[in-house]
Amino acid sequence: MNSVDSTSLDASNQALGEVIVSIKNVDFSYAPGERQILSGLNMDFRRGQVVAVMGGSGCGKTTILRLIGGQFTAQSGQVLFEGKDIGKMTSNQLMAARRRMGMLFQFGALFTDLSVFENVAFPLREHTDLSEELLRSLVLMKLNAVGLRGARDLMPSQISGGMARRVALARAIALDPPLIMYDEPFAGLDPISLGITARLIRDLNNALGATSLLVTHDVEETFEIADYVYFIAKGRIGAQGTPDELSRSTDPFVRQFLDAAPDGPVPFHYPGQSLAEDFGVSI
């Protein structure tokens, strides 16, 4: 189903940065005997790249972030972060690894009782012993990078949703993480804020020399900023390639996403009983 032939992929891979996260043959379900969410999943995330993970609702995109963050462990296979198996780390090693991962969760919730400044300062206060002066400079630099240095003293209730997302972004990069994970960074944003956030994700990634992993449904913005895109289907990779390669793809699965078709290889209905069984009628 892959839209890219493997020979050209191998050749282009050699010119790319080193792999920072590697998912190797991962099988995962949330509990024994429950539905298998991921099966035989393989993915690589390379330094310097913005990589998007897309796919139908409930296909396991957020689960992939949780495996990388070590909140859950795969039943088989490996999730390697900077070459080390996340699933085999001690809690101290895992904490150290997490300090090297910036996370922006769905709707990027801020601490409502802390100012914009203190929200961004929070991870620095938690994880470093920086002097107040140095901390102030770092926070203002991060706020400057997202265009909100002037908003430092405002409370979350005093800023717009788009601004709040940018503060959350500044907080996610406070510790200069080599890996930044975004879960639905564009959810609920108006088109202008959405465009600004997308551009910021790209620009911050370039400025930090980091790797950004983006779980999202917004094809247009994502294809503008991503270097590489994985489409997940049935617990594994349904298609992968650069935005250009995927845009030219004739694969029905890829087309369903790009053309926003309601039904296709990805079914509209979550698996369940038939209509006849639920409504007691023969259809």
Ligand X SMILES: Nc1ncnc2c1ncn2[C@@H]1O[C@H](COP(=O)(O)OP(=O)(O)OP(=O)(O)O)[C@@H](O)[C@H]1O
Residue 59 binds ligand X, judged by CB under 6 A: yes
**AA letter at 49:** Q
- Of 46 and 234, nearer to ligand X (C-beta) is 234
Residue 58 binds ligand X, judged by CB under 6 A: yes
Over its C-alpha atoms, the chain yields an Rg (Å, rounded) of 20
Per CB under 6 A, the segment of 1-9, 55-63, 117-125, 164-172 that binds ligand X is 55-63
Supply 107's token pair.
């709707």
Q: Is 130 exposed, middle or buried (0-12, 13-18, 19+ CB in 10 A)?
A: middle
State the minimum distance, in angstroms, from the CB of residue 4 to ligand X. Answer: 22
Residue 263 to residue 203: CA distance in whole angstroms: 35
Q: Let me know how many helices (H) and strands (E) the chain has, helices first.
A: 11, 10
Each residue 19-38 as x (binds ligand X by CB under 6 A) or -, in order, gives -----------x------x-
Measuring CA to CA, which residue among 145, 194, 188 is closest to residue 169? Answer: 145
Each residue 146-175 as x (binds ligand X by CB under 6 A) or -, in order, gives ------------------------------
- Of 105 and 122, nearer to ligand X (C-beta) is 105
Residue 189 binds ligand X, judged by CB under 6 A: no
State the minimum distance, in angstroms, from the CB of residue 231 to ligand X. Answer: 11
Residue 62 binds ligand X, judged by CB under 6 A: yes
**AA letter at 3:** S
Residue 193 binds ligand X, judged by CB under 6 A: no
Strand partners, 85: 80
Strands 236-241 and 228-233: antiparallel
**AA letter at 227:** D
State the minimum distance, in angstroms, from the CB of residue 107 to ligand X. Answer: 12
State the minimum distance, in angstroms, from the CB of residue 28 to ligand X. Answer: 9
Residue 202 to residue 226: CA distance in whole angstroms: 8
Each residue 96-135 as x (binds ligand X by CB under 6 A) or -, in order, gives ----------------------------------------
**Residue whose pair of structure tokens reads 């809690």 in the numeric block:** 91
Residue 52 binds ligand X, judged by CB under 6 A: no
Residue 60 binds ligand X, judged by CB under 6 A: yes
| Residue 203 DSSP SS3 | helix
Number of residues that bind ligand X (CB under 6 A): 10
Terminal alpha carbon distance of the chain: 33
Instruction: Give residues in contact with ligand X (CB under 6 A).
Output: 30, 37, 55, 57-63
